[in-house]
Chain A
Amino acid sequence: MERIETTITTAASGEIISYLEDPHGILRGKVAAIRYVKIDYPDTVDIVITGEVSGIEIYTWTNVTASETVFPFDSGTYLGIPIANERIKIDIKQGGFEKSGTFHFWIGMAN
């Protein structure tokens, strides 16, 4: 299991696209959890997370107002998504002028 942390700051437009890379090599496994930690993104922020090359949909937050963690094993809204040989793309919109948020990704081979 690996945890990768990234803090993303928007441009003046309130938008930014960022890419998550494995500092030790290639991302490979399942996304076991994602945690969004609110710093100062406004409550209108939309966050779309996908595979950079494949476009596989990993998770989407719409108008997220507070820190939140999603897991693949909840009976609710998130299922562990496989990732291999591509970066994770994090697309921020309506995030406010030069505002920031932090993301933690847990990636590993889930049972």
Chain B
Amino acid sequence: MLKGKAVIETDASGDAEKLCATPTGDCNGFVYALRYVKTDYADGVDIVFSGSESGIIYHTWTDVNATATVSDGDGSFIKKPIANENLKIVVSSGGDTKTGTVHVWVGR
């Protein structure tokens, strides 16, 4: 199992887009879990996780106000395959120049 981390800062319009890969660059296997750690994103921030090439959607947080985690089998998330692409994170409505952190767990 590998974990990737990205600290994402929004622009003046409250938006941001970033690619997140594991430390070895290996994004092959399944996305098992995603965690958003709130720093100072505005309440109501939207965060979408997708494949950078395929557009497959891994998870969408809409109007999230606090730190949150989804993991395989928790009832709100199922593991989904990832291969030969990065995880793309799109933040919107996050507030002017605000920051949050995401963690991604990828394994076989």
Contacts and interface: CB of A to CB of B under 8 A. Distances in A.
Contacts of A73: 78-80
B53 interface: yes
Interface residues of B, number: 17
B68 interface: no
A108 B85 CA distance: 15
Contacts, number: 48
Contacts of A37: 54-55
**Secondary structure of the B contact surface, majority rule:** loop
Contact of A2 (B54, B79, B83, B108): B83
Contacts of B79: 73
Contact of A1 (B55, B57, B81): B81
Given A1-B83, A33-B80, A74-B78, 20 more contacts: A1-B81, A1-B82, A1-B108, A2-B28, A2-B83, A2-B84, A3-B54, A3-B81, A5-B53, A32-B80, A33-B56, A33-B81, A37-B55, A67-B55, A73-B79, A73-B80, A104-B56, A106-B82, A108-B83, A109-B108
